[in-house]
Amino acid sequence: MPFVVLISGVSKGIGKGFAQAYLSRPNHIVIGTIRESAASTPEVQELKSFPTADGSRLLLVQIESTSPTDAAAALQTVQDDGIDHLDIVIANAGGSPIPTTPLESVGFQEMTTTYQVNAVGPLMLFQACRPLLRKSQAPKWASISTGGSSIALMGTIRSWDGSSYAAAKAALNWITRRSGIHFTNEWLVAVTLNPGLVQTGPGNWIAKEWGLEKATYTIEESVEGMMKVIDGASREETSGKFLRLNGTELPW
């Protein structure tokens, strides 16, 4: 039986890095979600042509994070393809307005859209994926958050800079913790991951705002660290926790 991984937002950045890493493992089906507008981009074409390990393949489905119905429709496409379970779901798709807007001036539309993309979208994905996750022998859910979502660390790191994004990711943290500890999902391992400051477009922009030349981690370094955490995640030790790349716990 193939090992099935669904990753949201694989058109670029961390999501694309995850997809390539899992496709490099044998006997893996990687389901990647993309927006319709990204289907013909060079990055997606590169992902389609990525050399896979023996028995592995890529299936792309379309999900727009602000849509209330795309996730359910995408999961129907997955089942129509003959896939009857999901072993890992990585809720990676998200986004931050660049430049960021302080709390004192952030607008209604930015807050609403950022919550839709970073919190409501992953919730819709969880609801759509839940039946197929239940059919896995050891299902895992991982939400890609940010260190800026930690309320406890707000005075330590400059998370106040990105009010809409940090607040939306804090909501995602709640949703993930609820998924990983509540008695109705006792069969599921669910973790929240901080990818670190990664060398993507937004990550490098933030780094320069902080006076750094570039972000701390390459995409490959971040993905490798998070995959190790996911591989080792367990119901007893890590489910319902907020974790760094090295597996240590972050405060909420």
User: Which of residues 156 and 63 earns the better pLDDT score?
Assistant: 63
Q: Is the pLDDT of residue 240 over 70?
A: yes
How remote is the C-alpha of 22 from its chain's centroid?
A: 14
Q: Is the pLDDT of residue 98 over 90?
A: no
Hey, what domains does the chain have and what are their CATH numbers?
3-243 (3.40.50.720)
Mean pLDDT of 13-32: 98
User: Cα–Cα distance between 193 and 150 in angstroms, integer?
Assistant: 11
Residue 165 is among the residues annotated as catalytic for this protein = yes
Q: If pLDDT is split at 50, 70 and 90, which confidence band does 160 have?
A: low
Q: Is the pLDDT of residue 161 over 90?
A: no
Q: If pLDDT is split at 50, 70 and 90, which confidence band does 198 have?
A: confident
pLDDT > 90: what percent of the chain? 77
Q: Is the pLDDT of residue 100 over 90?
A: no
pLDDT digits (tens, 9 = 90+) for 201-224: 888 878 787 788 888 899 999 999
* Helix, strand and coil in the chain, % to nearest 5: 45, 15, 40
Please calculate the CA angle 203-41-111 and round it to the nearest 5 degrees. 45
Mean pLDDT of 155-163: 71
User: Which of residues 247 and 202 earns the better pLDDT score?
Assistant: 247
Query: Catalytic one among 12, 140, 169, 241?
Result: 169
Q: Is the pLDDT of residue 21 over 90?
A: yes
pLDDT digits (tens, 9 = 90+) for 54-93: 999 999 999 999 999 999 999 999 999 999 999 999 999 9
> In this predicted structure, what is the pLDDT of residue 114?
95
Q: Is the pLDDT of residue 167 over 90?
A: yes
Q: Is the pLDDT of residue 158 over 70?
A: no
Whether residue 180 contacts residue 189, with contact meaning beta carbons closer than 8 Å, is answered with: yes
What are the helix (H) ranges across the chain?
13-23, 42-48, 70-80, 108-115, 121-133, 163-181, 201-209, 219-232
pTM: 0.95
Q: Is the pLDDT of residue 159 over 70?
A: no
Query: Is the C-alpha dihedral spanning 201, 226, 170, 9 positive or negative?
Result: positive
The DSSP H or E segment spanning 191 is strand 189-193
Please calculate the CA angle 161-124-63 and round it to the nearest 5 degrees. 85
pLDDT digits (tens, 9 = 90+) for 124-145: 999 999 999 999 999 999 999 9
Residue 169 is among the residues annotated as catalytic for this protein = yes
User: Cα–Cα distance between 198 and 184 in angstroms, integer?
Assistant: 35
Query: Catalytic one among 165, 214, 217, 241?
Result: 165
Token pair listed for 59:
């299936």
Strand order in the sheet with 140-144: 57-62, 28-34, 3-8, 88-91, 140-144, 189-193, 242-243
Average pLDDT in the chain? 93
